[in-house]
Amino acid sequence: MADFIHHYEAGSDQRRPLLLLHGTGGDEHDLVPLGRRLAPEAALLSPRGKVLENGMPRFFRRFGEGRFDVEDIKLRAAELAAFVDEARERYGIAQPLALGFSNGANIAAAMMLLAPQTLAGAVLLRAMTPLVPDELPDLGGKPVLILSGSADPMIPAEDATRLAGLLRGAGATVRHEVLPAGHSLTRADLDIATDWLAQAG
């Protein structure tokens, strides 16, 4: 299926599936416990990023910290969207909500902007603006939760705010919260995401 190593767990038809997108150095198993914790009854679809950086899987290439290869993002977002479409047919699941952390959150945001038909919404944990599309899509009120850390050394505060603005400009219903945290997740992240997913999915 679009050549992605992945992990799948079935869930209840009453809950929207989660597309789990790991951070740099993670794999298809990395976010499964988090997905199960946040949405216990949801189906989980978790691909492994195909780009290697010093042996660590990622979802797209970068030139350095915070310096992204935009052309590769476009290619990888389209490839991942095709994988999701094939997985939906294979496993008989509905349009998923993305749950992405760091690099995974960035590719999820790129998919929202470049392949808006693929996702029902997204939880973006420690996300940056992956790119600015030539034309904003119509996201038609799709729900997006962005959780940022005020002490995150990797992501400037204005960058996450810019992403929230882009998604709002495309018509998404965006909730953006900045928590007293660094790049790692906290209990507050988990509690907010759990409540949000219960309403969105």
* CATH number for 108: 3.40.50.1820
Active site residues: 102, 152, 183
Distance, in Å, from the CA atom of 64 to the CA atom of 120, rounded to the nearest integer, reads: 31
What's residue 65's pLDDT? 77
- Residue 170 inside a domain? The answer is yes
Tokens of 149: 């850390």
Give the relative orientation of helices 103-114 and 157-169 as an angle to the nearest 10 degrees. Answer: 20
Residue 37 has pLDDT above 60, yes or no: yes
Domain total of the chain:
1
- Residue 1 inside a domain? The answer is no
Give the relative orientation of helices 70-91 and 103-114 as an angle to the nearest 10 degrees. Answer: 80
- Residue 47 inside a domain? The answer is yes
Quick one: average pLDDT of 42-66? 93
- Residue 117 inside a domain? The answer is yes
What's residue 17's pLDDT? 98
The per-residue pLDDT for range 156-171, each reduced to its tens digit, is 989 999 999 999 999 9
- Residue 138 inside a domain? The answer is yes
What's residue 67's pLDDT? 85
The per-residue pLDDT for range 61-77, each reduced to its tens digit, is 998 777 899 999 999 99
- Residue 134 inside a domain? The answer is yes
Distance, in Å, from the CA atom of 168 to the CA atom of 175, rounded to the nearest integer, reads: 9
CA dihedral 72, 43, 171, 103 (to 10 degrees): -30
pTM for the model stands at 0.96
Task: Find residue 104's DSSP bridge partners.
Answer: none
Residue range(s) defining the domain that contains residue 146? 6-200
Q: Where are the alpha helices (DSSP H) in 26-114?
A: 32-38, 70-91, 103-114
- Residue 34 inside a domain? The answer is yes
- Residue 27 inside a domain? The answer is yes
The answer to whether the beta carbons of residues 17 and 42 sit under 8 Å apart is: yes
